[in-house]
Amino acid sequence: MERRTDLLVKLRDMTADDLPQAHALSRKLQWPHRIEDWDFMLRAGTGIVAEENGAIVGTIMGWPYGPEVATLGMVIVAEEKQGAGIGRQLMDAMMARLGNRAIVLNATTEGLPLYTRLGFTPFGEILQHQGAAFSVPIPSLRPNERVRPLGSKDHDAIIALDRKACGMDRTGLFAQLRKLAHGVVLDRDSQAIGFALFRRFGRGYVIGPTTAPDAEGARTLISHWLGSNAGMLARVDIPHDSDLAAWLDDLGLPCVGRVTRMVRGRLPPQAQAIRTFSLVSQALG
């Protein structure tokens, strides 16, 4: 794939060789992503770069989750190239690649005007909580509940739970996550009813996705990771209506930012009995 936006800038597929320059762009924005985080996202999805005279001046990434829905993120244009229409060209190219799928993204304040012009509509917010918890109360489990390590035989079960919670088939994403994330499962009556993954990200660690039947179950799962990694920098990206914000504030993970959830097309149906309480990342959903 190659497309020219003007006489100097061309769009082409992102490859692993582009990641050092892409990482440098995100560092200039003070985004926390390591080059390893970029590599993980590319392995899980697809990317396009804008290139000028051999230099990467813009990026965008997308993650198709089955034939009906995708997420989109890592939209960056070098500061000196902003206002030249490169962001719009990258968006047009990625939306064409994702086809007729509904597209979900999390928009910064700076990106909102462009996404609105492209037909995206808001449907909520994501709150970024980050910090170090030094004292985490032991959660009270219900009768016949336990938290246990994620095992190799749980892979299909957590994909099924995730699909019910978010309405997306993220089998490919979980194939990449299992290579680098640790996990715990919430069992009730010997049945998996929730899970939470924990992995390196940026300057510390991220807890997500967290999927559970209710906020109490989500707090139980997140508490496991915070309590077993006391004092370490952790990040949890939560929906604004998750009922976790005040609890995370009290533990020492204040809200340090928020983005607007937007969709172009129809959101996938989600089960009522289970939901996503924290994201894999703002880009991946």
Domains 2-100 and 128-256+268-278 share a fold: yes
HSE (CB half, 13 Å, CA atoms) of 245? Answer: 14
| 128-256+268-278 maps to CATH 1.10.645.10 | no
Q: Quote the pLDDT of residue 261.
A: 98
Q: Quote the pLDDT of residue 230.
A: 94
Q: Quote the pLDDT of residue 5.
A: 52
Q: Quote the pLDDT of residue 232.
A: 96
Asked whether the CA dihedral 172, 285, 82, 91 is positive or negative, the reply is positive
Beta bridge partners of 61: 47, 73
Q: Kindly report each contact of residues 40-43 with a partner whose C-beta sits within 8 Å and lies 24 or more positions away, as own/partner.
A: 40/176, 40/180, 41/74, 41/281, 41/283, 41/284, 42/14, 42/16, 43/176
Residue count (the chain): 285
Query: How many Cβ atoms are within 10 Å of 268's Cβ, its own excluded?
Result: 18
Beta bridge partners of 107: 260
Written as tens digits, the pLDDT of the chain (285 aa) is 655 555 589 999 999 999 999 999 999 999 999 999 999 999 999 999 999 999 999 999 999 999 999 999 999 999 999 999 999 999 999 999 999 999 999 999 999 999 999 999 999 999 999 999 999 998 889 889 999 999 999 999 999 999 999 999 999 999 999 999 999 999 999 999 999 999 999 999 999 999 999 999 999 999 999 999 999 999 999 999 999 999 999 999 999 999 999 999 999 888 889 999 999 999 999
Map out the domains of the chain as residue ranges: 2-100, 128-256+268-278
| DSSP state string for 58-69 | EEEEEEEETTTE
Residue 141 per-residue DSSP state: P
Report the distance separating Cα 67 and Cα 172, nearest Å.
Answer: 13
CA-to-CA dists, residue 210 to 103, 222, 237, angstroms: 21, 8, 10
| Structural element, H or E, at residue 209 | strand 204-212
| Structural element, H or E, at residue 212 | strand 204-212
| Structural element, H or E, at residue 73 | strand 69-77
Q: Please, where are the H alpha helices in the chain?
A: 19-28, 35-44, 86-98, 112-117, 155-166, 171-177, 215-228, 245-251
Tell the CATH superfamily of the 2-100 domain: Gcn5-related N-acetyltransferase (GNAT) (3.40.630.30)
